[in-house]
Amino acid sequence: MLLVGLLGPGLIYTASARADAPSAQNIGTSEQLSSSDVSIDPGYRINERGDFQVVEHGHWSPPYRPTPTQHLASEAVFSVQRSRPNEKSVKFRSNFQRTSFLGDVHAAEARFGIPHGLLDALIWTESRYNPSAVSSAGAAGLGQLMPGTARDLGVRNRFDPKANITGAAQYLRQMLDRFGVVHLAVAAYNAGPGAVSRLGRIPLNGETPGYVRNVLDRWALN
């Protein structure tokens, strides 16, 4: 005969017909309560206390089920990862655009006496030859001209590829004339001539040194 009653939250007692029923202390195993072959599910503990046995619930946690918000967040992450542009396709598109504008770039280099391939390397570094590129600072177009600089150079539409290339070439020529060496001229194109003049070197502002290195490395490939 097996009697079952409640002792409180999470506790059940069983009075067995056998006072000498074996005691079990193993969690995660099934143990017989009596000769009637009653067993306990994994995660429970059986303690023999006097003439009855106590079945104690082990630690239990509900199965993980993401909330609607968590589910949407995980879907958003997956969507971003899935829609991330392929690096090869981006590189191919940049190379294709470069080929489209390279004739105008070389013509501007010749017109303004810029060393062959330098303007090409600068535009590649600035915008990857994307005529619609806009920076967080407001620079725009192939040569990433700022509004004030474009106005001074007579560039009315910074998104006009030919006008932007001409403006970038003219501005780079001005920097070459002012500083006399390529690395300082390129630094001035990025950080502004005032910063380079004050320091007499490449400004260590966290951006310009890497920018100059990228332009010169690209130029070496031309």
Domain range for 124 is: 96-221
Do 100 and 159 belong to one domain?
yes
- CATH number of 100's domain: 1.10.530.10
- Number of structural domains the chain divides into: 2
Q: What is the DSSP string of 18-51?
A: -TTPPPB--TTS--BSSTT--B--TTEEEEEETT
- Residue 88: the pLDDT is 58
145 - beta bridge partners? 140
List residues with catalytic annotation: 126
Do 104 and 167 belong to one domain?
yes
- Residue 66: the pLDDT is 56
217: tokens are: 């490395």
Residue 183 is assigned to a structural domain of this protein: yes
Average pLDDT, consecutive stretches of 10 residues, N- to C-terminus, the chain (222 residues): 45 41 41 43 49 47 54 46 52 83 98 99 98 97 98 98 99 99 99 98 97 98 90
Do 101 and 52 belong to one domain?
no
pTM: 0.60
- Residue 141: the pLDDT is 98
